[in-house]
Amino acid sequence: MNGARAESTPLRKVVLVGSGAVGKTTLASRLITGTYIQQTMTVGLNVETWTVEDSAEQAAIKIISFDLGGQNQFRFFQQEMIRGANFAMIVFDLTRYESFMDLEEWMGFIGDIPEKCRVLVANKADMESVVSDEEIRTFAEKHSLPVVRTSCVTGQGIEELERVIWESLKGNGICG
């Protein structure tokens, strides 16, 4: 990317929320590097940037992602970090029912981010799911969330997720 282009690339703030070990850091790294990299536990916060481009539209969005650690003691600090976020990925782990149960709490946590600027990410789709499709659909409909099933290991759903993020953040849409 040349310098002029980099300067004109709008910066968007994306947050990844969800319980510990659902795969937020791995997902961010998969989106950034395109490959699966085993991650160590996030304590507090991971901040990374990546650029989502659309060659057809000759446009790009630079995204700064805040991957919040799952530990309760950091909640106050995390609330500060997500202020002004343009978009939220709400992540749960298909293999851990508890992470699905925690979603309501995470929805409350990101209350300021407009409904249309959120996506529900059902991660670890390469493994056997313990959350039924029906339950996921009911939750997603209740909160008007699009759902993307992803696997950081196989790459399933990663392009679709990028597309959802792109569609929400490009131009002068409501996600800014």
Ligand X SMILES: Nc1nc2c(ncn2[C@@H]2O[C@H](COP(=O)(O)OP(=O)(O)O)[C@@H](O)[C@H]2O)c(=O)[nH]1
Residue 87 has φ and ψ, to the nearest 5°, of: -155, 145
Q: Which does 126 bind (CB under 5 to 8 A by kind): Mg ion, ligand X, none?
A: ligand X
* Residue 151 contacts ligand X per CB under 6 A: yes
Stretch that binds Mg ion, among 42-50, 110-118, 131-139, 163-171 (CB under 5 A): 42-50
Residue 96 binds ligand X, judged by CB under 6 A: no
Nearest partner of 134 among 147, 123, 125, judged by Cα: 147
> Considering the rule CB under 5 A, would residue 26 count as an interface residue with Mg ion?
no
20 binds ligand X per the rule CB under 6 A: yes
Could you say whether residue 65 binds ligand X (CB under 6 A)?
no
- How far from 53 is each of 19, 32, 160, 163, 167, CA to CA, in Å? 29, 12, 14, 10, 11
Beta bridge partners of residue 90, listed in sequence order: 17, 120
Which residue, 42 or 60, has its beta carbon nearer to ligand X?
42
Of 2, 8, 35, 38, the one binding ligand X (CB under 6 A) is: 38
70 binds, among ligand X, Mg ion, none (CB under 5 to 8 A by kind): ligand X
* Binding-site string for ligand X from residue 97 to residue 136, where x marks contact by CB under 6 A and - marks none: --------------------------xx-xx---------
Residue 19 engages Mg ion in binding (rule: CB under 5 A): no
Please give the Cα distance from 52 to 119 (Å, whole number): 16
* Count of residues interacting with Mg ion (CB under 5 A): 3
Residue 75 or 116 having the CB closest to ligand X: 75
Footprint of Mg ion (CB under 5 A): 24-25, 42
